[in-house]
Structure 1
Amino acid sequence: MIDPVIASRLQFALTTIVHIIFPVMSMGLAPFLIYFTWRDVRGGAPVYEQLRRFWTKIFAISFVVGTVTGIVLEFEFGTNFAAFSTAAGELFGGPLAVEGMMAFMLEATFLGIFVFGRERVSDRLYLVSSVAVGLGTWLSAVWILIANSWMQTPRGYELATENGQPIVHLTDPIAAYLNPRFPYMFVHMQNAAVESVALFMAGVAAYYVYRHHIWEYPVGNIAFWETTLKIALVALLITAPLQVLQGDLYARHVYETQPQKFAAMEAVWDTEAYVPEYIFAIPTDLSQLTDPRAKELFGIGIPGGASWLASGGDPTAEIRGLNSFESSAPPVAIVFWSFRAMVGMGFWFILLAFWGGYRWLTGELFEDGLLHKALMASSLLGIVAVELGWVVTEVGRQPWVIQGVLKTSAGVSPGLTGTEALTTLLGFVGVYTMLLALYAYVVARIIRGGPPGEDDLDSVPDRRNHDETPAPEVAGDD
């Protein structure tokens, strides 16, 4: 029978991998929706109201499904990881509770106004609702990432033993909640969310632009998709380079605070200097797929790149190898290949952004069919890169659930059996597969339906003059 520790880890990994899709969509869409609303309220072109209404539908469905799947994760702390919850509940539970009481309630309260209140509230209040929804979405990330970043770099606590079990007591909330990992994780995650949504928007828009301009197939409201493509490219031009630059700082911080994880990211087993950074790597035999060792792989590497990354500029710097640590190494193959794929996609996104920007500058953005195909093929890669980033983050710190404090094996519910864990795992596989299929179906229907036509938009008086006293009606014979 399967080990309950392995089954619980697989179940939490599955539910997290599925759940993260929906916060990425909602967090990434939030800045776009605020911008669309601002342009709409200011009396901009009708296309901004179309953009707001169209992408609000996808935001709303992502919020609903994200809420449901997020609640499941919190239940799993009790059903599968009760020992962890007992040990770290005093510190870990606070941010999760505040996230629900502050961020979720703010977002949920104003979401109703934002989705249904355009005809019922003033322009000012409607714009405030868009900002409040976006702020609530990003505040949720603040508290969730505070909790997770503390697990990576725990601070502000003392460890005691109660009834033979280690218990973490909070001693310094500022040090704990503003731990050194938090700013790196927050910037990287939020920028990744906006980048992922920009790629998704660009891919969808490119499909319709390609059909209209390359296939010469009539597409209704092509101006909507052309505007969408341009806005997505602007966001991509900002977020793609920023992600790589900030990721460089993040990786250096990982080496300073979690050197074992960094060694797994680079597949360095023996302490050595002048370690290359492989942007692209191929194993020379099949065994290296499951046991990669950097110096034995064939690939395109930057000599001394990993040493330069770890040290902040010295290509000859020494990197501590996995064999020098007392605790067992994390699953190196998963961490190493996930990191390679994530970094590779990051550079591809930069290429896409500058490719699109150049074509826009030369006036050929809508005529470059190859660019359109590349954007379509890359529309979901931003989300894939986010998933891989979290694989590196979570798998890379194993065997610890709280770095240096509590091992994952000690955090699983003590009374949980392998049969129980396997049963729920299989159940979640079935339910989450159907949930993903349903979400994809609904989003695809929204995209196929396209934006509202100009005839379907709110009338100008209804949209713009909520704060004005209506003029008295004048009969034709007055």
Structure 2
Amino acid sequence: MDTEVLARIQFAFTVAYHYIYPPLSIGLGLLLVIFESLYLRTRKESYHLLARFWTRIFALTFGIGVVTGIVMEFEFGTNWAVYSRYVGDVFGSALAAEGIFAFALESGFLGILLFGWNRVPAWVHLVSTIGVFLGSMFSAIWIVVANSWQQTPAGFHIVGEGLDARAEITDFWAMVFNPSSVDRLLHVWLGAFLAGAFLVLSVHAWYLVKGRYVEISRQAFGIALGVATFFSLAQLASGHKSAEGVAHNQPAKLAAMEGHFKASAPADLYLFGWVDADSETVSGVRIPGGLSFLLDYDTETPVTGLRAFPKADRPGQVNAVFQFYHIMIGIGMLLIGLTLYSSWLYWRGSLFDKKWLLWIFVAAVLLPQIANQVGWFTAEMGRQPWVVYGLLRTSEAFSQVVTANQILFSLILFFLIYTLLFVLFLYLLNKKIKHGPYDEGNEADRPLTREISEVITGK
């Protein structure tokens, strides 16, 4: 492999691995705020126990997320020197804002969140939990803003020429509110809320299947199911709005997402299929004129296709973009169906009698994670061959002095270290889940009042 391909693989690997954890932190942060708010309102100890239990898991995901995110900043300088010079002014502003508005907020309240139990009043602890949650959301803002600027650059001018060219901000707020940032940020937030909600659903579904912590798990499951149902429906609306933005700002990406080749013609909507880029054909199940209808409510509206662009300006892996996009859509629709059906059963009072459905929720923890990953793959691969859309090609952005062997060596090391970290994460997560919200002793499900008493007294 050449240097560019290896550099792209290495960055994709580190980003994909890192992106396991921040969505969980954001999503769990929301659930922690809900659990603590309910405790402060009702003074039911079950909510207090849930908040403490999920705070321990939040701390685990937050810690590993921070560690794995640091590597990417070094990769900018080592593997993507031309890119770093080009976007340094933009990324520097966004990352500085992240440090001021996000990390400062998170770090200021994180200690109280983790170690303030029974040391500060309940309302103070809730304020600290809200602070950490908002800090994680603000952090996502600036990362998404920086990435969205690569998709739809705004508020800048170019200084210098050739390899010395760089983008310099002329309007900070135009850079922040570039044409795709708001839509993409909402999409990322909603995906994070779903990741956190389905982790809670998975763990408490497992408890219910095993007959452990039944009462407290029913409470947690009901709350998380409400969160998951609301945000899965909201994600459908967000996805539609994002697709409209892509159609306007990055038509080549949308054409790749739906395998639409004709330069200007009504476009079909594929439920699933396979793209042959050589023959420029798609085989699969489609809704004739479906994409045109979604964009303009008219099945005959022309949509710009890949033939409208020179081959050098088209995404290189059209079928991969198509498949990743449709996996994301398929999972999104599956989550909507699963949560709506389960919510209906919950209000009928029969959900917890269906052990098969609880087993589905145990496994469904993977679905939002997969959707988040393939969504990013779609966005990044669909932007190719540009690293900054329409301005800087990926082939021109990597470091000129780093060799393929050096990148391959570091990639292998990263793979080994990240694999060890992932195994450690799973081990610690499994240990915390097996331990549960409180000690069990030798009984399967002791009375809740007795367990609460033991937590309070420390016996």
- For residues 202 and 373 of structure 1, the distance between their equivalents in structure 2, rounded to whole angstroms, comes to 10
Instruction: Read off the aligned partner of 1:252 and give its amino acid letter.
Output: E
Tell me the equivalent position of 2:66. 67
Match status 1:95 vs 2:94: yes
Match status 1:314 vs 2:318: no
Identity of matched residues, %:
36
Alpha-carbon shift at residue 294 of structure 1 (Å): 8.2
Match status 1:211 vs 2:210: yes
Q: Secondary structure of the residue that 2:168 maps to in structure 1?
A: strand
Alpha-carbon shift at residue 196 of structure 1 (Å): 1.6
Instruction: Read off the aligned partner of 1:274 and give its amino acid letter.
Output: P
> What are the ranges of 5 or more consecutive residues in structure 2 without an aligned counterpart?
439-450
Tell me the equivalent position of 1:468. none
- For residues 114 and 268 of structure 1, the distance between their equivalents in structure 2, rounded to whole angstroms, comes to 50
CA root-mean-square deviation: 1.8
Match status 1:340 vs 2:338: no
Match status 1:380 vs 2:366: yes
Alpha-carbon shift at residue 160 of structure 1 (Å): 2.4
After TM superposition, the structure 1 = structure 2 runs for residues 230-309 of structure 1, keeping only pairs within 5 Å, are 230-281=222-273, 283=274, 288=275, 291=277, 296-299=282-285, 301-309=286-294
Match status 1:10 vs 2:9: yes
* Residues 264 and 303, structure 2, Cα contact 8 Å, conserved in 1: yes
Q: Of the candidates 411, 433, 455, which is equivalent to residue 457 of structure 1?
A: 455
Q: Secondary structure of the residue that 1:297 maps to in structure 2?
A: strand
- For residues 47 and 41 of structure 1, the distance between their equivalents in structure 2, rounded to whole angstroms, comes to 11
After TM superposition, the structure 1 = structure 2 runs for residues 79-228 of structure 1, keeping only pairs within 5 Å, are 79-162=78-161, 164-212=163-211, 219=212, 221-228=213-220
**Alpha-carbon spacing, 1:88–1:409, altered in 2? closer, same or farther (3 Å):** same
Instruction: Read off the aligned partner of 1:142 and give its amino acid letter.
Output: I
Alpha-carbon shift at residue 296 of structure 1 (Å): 3.4
Alpha-carbon shift at residue 291 of structure 1 (Å): 3.9
> What are the ranges of 5 or more consecutive residues in structure 1 without an aligned counterpart?
213-218, 461-478
The structure number with the bigger radius of gyration is 1
Q: Secondary structure of the residue that 1:118 maps to in structure 2?
A: coil
Deviations 1:3-52 (A, max 9, x none): 11111110110000010111011001111111111222335211101110
Deviations 1:199-253 (A, max 9, x none): 22212222222233xxxxxx2x211111121111101110111111110111011
* Residues 95 and 144, structure 1, Cα contact 8 Å, conserved in 2: yes
- For residues 12 and 312 of structure 1, the distance between their equivalents in structure 2, rounded to whole angstroms, comes to 37
- For residues 274 and 131 of structure 1, the distance between their equivalents in structure 2, rounded to whole angstroms, comes to 47
Q: Secondary structure of the residue that 2:167 maps to in structure 1?
A: strand
Tell me the equivalent position of 2:420. 434
* Residues 267 and 292, structure 1, Cα contact 8 Å, conserved in 2: no
- For residues 373 and 118 of structure 1, the distance between their equivalents in structure 2, rounded to whole angstroms, comes to 33
Higher helix share: 2
Tell me the equivalent position of 1:56. 55
Tell me the equivalent position of 2:446. none
- For residues 57 and 294 of structure 1, the distance between their equivalents in structure 2, rounded to whole angstroms, comes to 51
* Residues 292 and 332, structure 1, Cα contact 8 Å, conserved in 2: no
For structure 1, which segment, 237-246 or 156-165, has the greater mean C-alpha deviation from structure 2 after superposition?
Answer: 156-165
Match status 1:407 vs 2:405: no
Alpha-carbon shift at residue 384 of structure 1 (Å): 0.7
Q: How many residues end up aligned between the 2 structures?
A: 444
Alpha-carbon shift at residue 455 of structure 1 (Å): 3.0
* Residues 22 and 61, structure 2, Cα contact 8 Å, conserved in 1: yes
Alpha-carbon shift at residue 162 of structure 1 (Å): 4.7
- For residues 313 and 116 of structure 1, the distance between their equivalents in structure 2, rounded to whole angstroms, comes to 54
Q: Secondary structure of the residue that 1:268 maps to in structure 2?
A: coil
Q: Secondary structure of the residue that 1:120 maps to in structure 2?
A: coil
Alpha-carbon shift at residue 436 of structure 1 (Å): 1.1
**Alpha-carbon spacing, 1:164–1:332, altered in 2? closer, same or farther (3 Å):** closer
**Alpha-carbon spacing, 1:113–1:164, altered in 2? closer, same or farther (3 Å):** closer
Q: Secondary structure of the residue that 1:428 maps to in structure 2?
A: helix
- For residues 163 and 403 of structure 1, the distance between their equivalents in structure 2, rounded to whole angstroms, comes to 17
Give the structure, 1 or 2, with the largest relative contact order (CA under 8 Å, sep 6 or more). 1
Tell me the equivalent position of 1:363. 349
- For residues 455 and 383 of structure 1, the distance between their equivalents in structure 2, rounded to whole angstroms, comes to 37
Tell me the equivalent position of 1:398. 384
Q: Secondary structure of the residue that 1:396 maps to in structure 2?
A: helix
- For residues 115 and 96 of structure 1, the distance between their equivalents in structure 2, rounded to whole angstroms, comes to 26
Q: Secondary structure of the residue that 1:296 maps to in structure 2?
A: strand
Deviations 1:400-453 (A, max 9, x none): 111011111211112111111111111111111111111111111111111124
Alpha-carbon shift at residue 88 of structure 1 (Å): 1.2
- For residues 42 and 336 of structure 2, the distance between their equivalents in structure 1, rounded to whole angstroms, comes to 34
Alpha-carbon shift at residue 164 of structure 1 (Å): 4.8
* Residues 157 and 171, structure 1, Cα contact 8 Å, conserved in 2: yes
Q: Secondary structure of the residue that 1:415 maps to in structure 2?
A: coil
Instruction: Read off the aligned partner of 1:211 and give its amino acid letter.
Output: K
* Residues 252 and 312, structure 1, Cα contact 8 Å, conserved in 2: no
Instruction: Read off the aligned partner of 2:165 and give its amino acid letter.
Output: P
* Residues 31 and 224, structure 2, Cα contact 8 Å, conserved in 1: no
Deviations 1:121-179 (A, max 9, x none): 22332121111111111010011111111111000111122575221111111111111
* Residues 271 and 284, structure 2, Cα contact 8 Å, conserved in 1: no
Tell me the equivalent position of 1:420. 406
- For residues 338 and 457 of structure 2, the distance between their equivalents in structure 1, rounded to whole angstroms, comes to 38
TM-score (normalised: structure 1)? 0.89
Instruction: Read off the aligned partner of 1:207 and give its amino acid letter.
Output: W
